[in-house]
RNA sequence: CAAGUGAGCUGGACAGCCGCGUGGGCAGGCCGAAAGGCCGUCCAUGAGGAAAGUCCGGGCUCCAUAGGGCAAGGAUAACGGGUAACGCCCGCCGAAGGCGACUUCAGGACAAGUGCAACAGAGAGAUACCGCCUGGCCCGGUCUUGAAAACCGGUGAUCAGGUAAGGGUGGAAAGGUGAGGUAAGAGCUCACCCGCCGGCUCGGAAGUGUCCGGUGAUGUAAACUCUAUCCGGAGCAACACCGUGGAGGGGAAUGUGACCGGCCCGGUCUCCCCGGGGAGGUGGCUGGAGCGUAUCGGCAACGAUGCGCCUAGAUAGAUGGCUGUCUUUAACAGAACCCGGCUUACAGGCUCACUUGUGUU
RNA sequence: GGUACCAUAGCCAAGUGGUAAGGCAGAGGUCUGCAAAACCUCCACCCCCGGUUCAAAUCCGGGUGGUACCU
């Protein structure tokens, strides 16, 4: 991915939960905050509540794939964190994709030309 | 054909597009003085039978001991074999279950010692409450004119003794059944059976057989304990190397160095100790008790030899998304230092061997 | 990834094989004109499944859930 690195440090996650803006849908929560860089930093949180390792891996891979395929539509310079909720385990990929874009639009993370309901 | 028993294998496939980790190649592009890094592109390769639980056993690393022994603590437990080792596996014995194929068993010792066995029950390792029997006393009867003696009998709140068959409690009442025997009874005696110990037979051993002899002993060791065997401890977040560690605080000493000061005293900082504070990277890391196959040895587990093969190595953690076809969202489920086991979870499919029943020939 | 520990009533908890103490809360009753207090009574599949034992919350094995520690 060209404009994005993965977010790894626990400090940054905690700061986002405390100070970032958020938006909620049944299957996920999206947090974001300006980071003052030229690139985005993207993080995924999948807790043990959702299931065992195989289930968590599948959810994480889907969320990463969704961001990868939609990366060009995002404005640069943000820290973005997706927290998966329990309903994400049994959701279809297309449904997750729709929810993700709707939340991103709500937080005004997409390019202005794209600011409409997907 | 139906119902079952055991062993083993498999664990979605194929095609297209977009993506990921690792290894290798590239007269490719960018950065850099260089080493090299980043990007691009091509090729190869990329989760399991349980990767899980972390319950055992080993390798490996560090610590301790440096010959080992004892104690403590822990583990295991019929016997023989396999293995690097094991609490695992194979064979076999015994016990229990099943018509059977077969399955299950922490399966040493309570006959070395100690402990525990509530409640119930007369009594729990021995007992004597009721009962049964004998004798005394007492009472009644017979005999007698009457009494005593003798005899007979006791629904007698009695005494002494014998007994352990019966009671009906309990998980368990100290061999069982039958006969003899006796005042009543009792392995007291006998026959058969059951169990234990020893001798002899067979077997490599556990063990088996025995009309050989003795003997009758409660259960519990997943109670302490005894016997035999084994175990030093911790774990890859081990460990090694490179790099990094702000400010403030306390102590010791009056020592080292520097500064303030003309000098002493004194003050500040530093060196020393305690404690606080930090950022990570590289190796360890995958070629091994390895996998496949053939032959030989062995009932088997397994072993020996020959030939062939190299098959993940991440570090917030690589396998995903979409479309189509088959037959359905495939079940349980994701390596994290590596092996050998055990346990637990699991949809569907396949193969082999065997048992019982039914039918046909 | 590794190591250790815990699970008993709604809550806090005691209980070293013999039929589960106590406190708080809750329900019912006595007392009162009505309450409070006091007193009495009730409220447990001892996390689940097997095993040892005559008998298991307790002993043994397996599982489930939770907690803490190690860079």
Q: Which domain holds residue A28?
A: 4-108
Q: Is residue A98 part of a domain?
A: yes
Q: b or e along A3-33 (b: 16 or more beta carbons within 10 Å of the residue's beta carbon)? A: ebeebeeeebbeebeeebebbebebbbbbbb
- Please say whether the beta carbons of A20 and A65 come within 8 A: no
**A56-83 pLDDT, tens digit each:** 888 888 888 888 888 888 888 888 888 8
Angle between helices A93-106 and A53-69 (to 10 degrees): 60
Q: Is residue A115 part of a domain?
A: no
State which nucleotides on strand B lie below 7 Å from a protein beta carbon: 18-19, 47, 51, 316-322, 333-335
- Please say whether the beta carbons of A34 and A102 come within 8 A: no
A93 vs A113, residue with greater confidence: A93
* A52 nearest nt, CA–C1': B333
Structure tokens given for A16: 């986002």
Give the pLDDT band (50/70/90) at residue A2. Answer: low
Q: Is residue A65 part of a domain?
A: yes
pTM score of the predicted model: 0.76
Per-chain mean pLDDT for chain A? 80
**What's the pLDDT score for residue A109?**
83
ipTM of this predicted complex? 0.79
Q: Is residue A118 part of a domain?
A: no
CATH number at residue A21: 3.30.230.10
Q: How many domains does chain A have?
A: 1
Q: Is residue A94 part of a domain?
A: yes
């Amino acid at each position: 991915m060209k404009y994005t690195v993965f977010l790894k440090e626990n400090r940054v996650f905690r700061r986002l939960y405390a100070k970032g803006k958020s938006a909620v849908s049944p299957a996920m929560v999206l947090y974001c905050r300006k980071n003052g860089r030229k690139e985005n930093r993207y993080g995924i949180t999948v807790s043990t509540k959702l299931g065992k390792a195989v289930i968590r891996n599948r959810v994480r891979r889907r969320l990463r794939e969704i961001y990868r395929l939609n990366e060009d539509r995002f404005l640069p310079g943000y820290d973005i964190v997706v927290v998966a909720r329990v309903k994400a385990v049994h959701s279809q990929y297309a449904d997750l994709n729709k929810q993700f874009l709707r939340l991103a639009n709500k937080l005004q993370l997409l390019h202005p030309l794209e600011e409409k309901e997907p």
